[in-house]
Amino acid sequence: MALVLSDGVGAAIRAHGVETYPNECCGALIGRDGVVTVTYALPNTTEEGPRRRFLVRPSDYREAEKRASEAGGDLLGFYHSHPDHPARPSQYDLDHAWPFFSYVIVSVHAGVSGDMTSWRLREDRSAFDSEELTHA
């Protein structure tokens, strides 16, 4: 599998991660056929500490699906940042993942964005598989 980020998408994710640092940011990935054309920044509504957790509440999830539909696209997945942690999924990420979505993670160290990776949940929920991330 591979995920393509259209022009400006990677920059928007990085900018959001820097903006919310030292807290985690989150947002939706909207596009079609594995190409993300637009992001939709969402509020991190976690009550477990936004420096290490994010939560997209159901009402915001519904809004993201609506936005994707209005844009003539699909909801392809979600992005979030890992402040001062590597861009690798945690056990918590795995425990809460949905199938078939792409999960883009950007690492933000000391307020500066670093590695960006993308992951998909294995169908048996046992692990994430890395997917190739390219920039159009």
Partner 1 sequence: MPNTINIPTPLRPFTDKKESVEVSGGTVGELLTDLTTKYDGLRKHLYTDEGKLRNFVNVYLNDEDIRYLQKEQTPVKTGDTLSIVPSVAGGCS
Please tell me which residue in 24, 63, 123, 131 is annotated as part of the active site: 24
- DSSP-derived 3-state class of residue 65: helix
Tell me whether residue 123 is one of the annotated catalytic residues. no
Compose the 11-50 pattern: x for residues touching partner 1 by CB under 8 A, - for all others: -------------x-x-------------------x-x--
Half-sphere exposure of 82 (CA within 13 A, CB side): 18
- Contacting partner 1 (CB under 8 A), which of 9, 29, 75, 133? 75
Q: Does 56 bind partner 1 (CB under 8 A)?
A: yes
Q: Does 103 bind partner 1 (CB under 8 A)?
A: yes
- Contacting partner 1 (CB under 8 A), which of 29, 97, 116, 133? 97
Is residue 132 a contact partner of residue 1, using CB atoms and an 8 Å limit? yes
Q: How far is CA 66 from CA 55, 60, 75, in A?
A: 18, 10, 9
- Contacting partner 1 (CB under 8 A), which of 93, 109, 114, 115? 93
| CA separation for the pair 44, 55 (Å, rounded) | 5
Number of CB atoms found within 10 A of residue 82's CB: 23
The nearest distance, CB 32 to partner 1, in angstroms, is 12
